[in-house]
Amino acid sequence: MSDQQQSPDLQQRVDDLLASHDPETTPPAIFLGAQYDAGLAWVHFPQGRGGLGLSRGRQVEVDERLEAAGAPRPDFARNSIGLGMAAPTILAFGSQELQERYLRPLFACTEIWCQLFSEPGAGSDLAAVATRAVPDGDEWVVDGQKVWTSGAHNADFAILVARTDTSVPKHAGLTYFLVDMRDPGIEIRPLRQITGEAEFNEVFLTGVRVPDHNRVGTVGEGWKVATTTLNNERVAISAGNDREAGQIGLVTERWRTDPSVRTPGNHTELMQWWVETEVTRLAGERLRQGLEAGQPGPESSAMKLAFAQQAQQVTGFALELAPEEGLTYHDWTMVRPEGGSFLGHGPGFRYLRAKGNSIEGGTSEIMRNIVAERVLGLPPDHRPDKGIPFKDVPR
C-alpha cells in the first residue's frame, strides 16, 4: 500500500528477476522457481525458503510489479491448498528437510496438494478423526477414510491429520503428516457436488506407509499444527483485495452494461451489497496489515464468515437480477475439474458453488463459535467428550 516504504532492495530483486527471466517467454514453472529462489515467493518467509524475512504486507509490492509485467502467477485454482495452507504450515512446523524438499515445487505448482482432514464422522468436530497412524520402524502405517477431499484426483501430496494415540482425549492424540498421494494404498473415488461437478472425493487409505521424517510437528501435536493450517485456509478462502473483486464484480458489470436489469428494488439491494463487500474488503485489508510476519489467528474466522455470507447473497441476487437467464444452467455433465473455481461458468453454477463457502474450511456456525469463544472469550459449549480418552467416547 502507498503508505508503506518502497524498499530499493526489494525493487532491485524484482528488476533482477524480470531481467534474468523474460516474463513473457519463460515457462511458468521455471519463472516461479526463480521467483522462489529470489525470495520473492512469500517475502515474509525466511531467506532460503522463498522469502526475505520482510513483513507480510510487502508482498503486494512484488505482486503488483510481476502482474504488470505479465509474469506467470502460481496456479491458485489448482493448488490453493498447497499455496494457502500447506506452505505456511510446513514453514511453521516442518523440519528444515521438509521445507527444502517441498516448498519450492509447491510454489512453482509442479507439485499439487490436497487436504486429508475431514472424515464421515469428523467434520466440524475435526479433532474426532478416526484414521489411525501406527508406528512401524521409521515409518507410520495409515488406515482410514477421508471425505470431501477437494482435488485429490489432481494431487501429488496431501496434508493429513491422523490419530496416533487413542488412550488420550481427542485433541491430544493427533499427529500431522505429509503423504504421497501416489502410494498404492490410496484409493480416490469421485464425489459429485450439487453443481454437477465432482470437485471433491472420498479417499480410502489402506496400509499407506508414511516415513517418520514426513511428520510435521511432534507426535501428538497434530491439533496445534492443523489449527495453523485452518487459520491460513480461512484467510485464503476470504482473500481478494481489489474493489469489486469476486462475485460483486460480476454483478456490477452486468448492471453497468445491461439497463434491463435496473429496477428500483434491485438498485437498493445492489448498493447494499456493494457497501458490504467494500467494508469487508477493507476489514480484510486491515487484518492482513495487522498480520505482518505472524500467523493468522482466530480473527480470520470472522473474515471467512463475512466472505461466505456475501458470496452467497450476491450470487443469489445475480439470478434474481436476470431471471430468464437465471432459470438456465450451463451444463450438468459430471466432470472432475482441474481446479476449483468460485467465479467460473454461469450464474447458476456460481450460486450453487457459493453454497459450499459456508461449509468448506469450517462451517459458518463453527466460525461463529470460534469468534465467540476464542476472540470474545465466552464460555465454551458443554462437551460430553471433554477429558475422556478417545477410545472411551461412545460413537
Partner 1 sequence: MTDLLYTDVEESLRSSVRSTLQRSLDEGLPARLYDEPDTDVSALWQALAGQLGLAGLLVPESLGGVGAGAREAAVVLEELGRAVAPVPFLTSAVIATTALLQAGDEQHLPTLASGERTAVLVLPWTARRGAWSAVSGSAEPVAGALGADLFLVPTTGEGGGTSLRAYGRDEVELEPIVSLDMTRPLARVTVTGQGDEIASGAGAEAAVDAALAAGAALLASEQLGLAQWCLETTVEYAKTRVQFARPIGSFQAIKHRLADLYLLLVSAQAAARQAAGTLADGDLRGAHAARGTHSVAPQGAAEQQIAQAVAQAFCSDAAVRAAEEALQLHGGIGMTWEAPVHTRLKRAKADQLALGTPDRHRSDLAVLVDLPAS
Binding mask 131-170 for ligand FAD (x = CB under 6 A): -----------------xxx--------------------
> Which uninterrupted H or E stretch holds 159?
strand 157-163
User: Which one of 8-16, 84-92, 246-254, 379-387 is the stretch in contact with partner 1 (CB under 8 A)?
Assistant: 379-387
Beta strands in 90-136 (DSSP E): 113-116, 132-136
As a whole number of angstroms, the distance between CA 107 and CA 36 comes to 7
Instruction: By CB under 6 A, tell whether 223 contacts ligand FAD.
Output: no
Which of 84, 94, 284, 362 is in the footprint of ligand FAD by CB under 6 A?
Answer: 362
Helix (H, G, I), strand (E, B) or coil at 163: strand
330 binding partner 1? (CB under 8 A)? yes
DSSP assignment of 255-275:
HHH-GGG--HHHHHHHHHHHH
> In one letter, which amino acid is 241?
N
Given 5, 96, 260, 328, the residue binding partner 1 (CB under 8 A):
328
Three-state DSSP class for residue 368? helix
Partnered with residue 115 across adjacent β-strands are 159
Could you please report the per-residue DSSP string of 334-345?
A: ----SS--SS-S
Question: Is residue 323 within the footprint of partner 1 (CB under 8 A)?
Answer: yes
Residue of the chain from 41, 170, 360, 390 that contacts ligand FAD (CB under 6 A): 360
197 is catalytic: no
- Per-residue binding string, ligand FAD, 40-79, x by CB under 6 A, is ----------------------------------------
For residues 274 and 293, give the distance between their C-alpha atoms in angstroms, rounded to a whole number: 31
Rounded to whole angstroms, the Cα distance separating 315 from 298 reads 27
Partner from partner 1, ligand FAD, none contacting 220, C-beta within 5 to 8 A by type: none
Residue 303, judged by CB atoms within 10 A of its CB (0-12, 13-18, 19+), counts as: buried
Gap between the Cα atoms of 363 and 382, Å rounded = 19
Judged by beta carbon, residue 70 or residue 264, the one nearer partner 1 is 264
362 binds, among ligand FAD, partner 1, none (CB under 5 to 8 A by kind): ligand FAD
* Least separation in angstroms between CB 170 and partner 1: 9
272 near 340, Cβ under 8 Å? no
Span interacting with ligand FAD, options 86-94, 255-263, 267-275, 357-365, rule CB under 6 A: 357-365
- What 3-state DSSP class applies to 50? coil
Task: Check residue 295 for interaction with partner 1 (CB under 8 A).
Answer: no
C-alpha cell at 116: 486429508
Q: Which of 240, 199, 241 is nearest to 360 (CA)?
A: 199
Among 176, 200, 317, 390, binds ligand FAD (CB under 6 A): 200
255 binds partner 1 (CB under 8 A): no
Q: Which residues bind partner 1 (CB under 8 A)?
A: 118, 121-125, 128, 147-148, 191-194, 196, 263-266, 269, 312, 316, 319-320, 323-324, 326-332, 334, 348, 351-352, 355-356, 358-359, 363-365, 368-369, 381-385, 393-395
* Catalytic site positions: 233
Interface contacts to ligand FAD, rule CB under 6 A: 114-115, 117-118, 123-124, 148-150, 200, 356, 359-360, 362-363, 365-366, 369
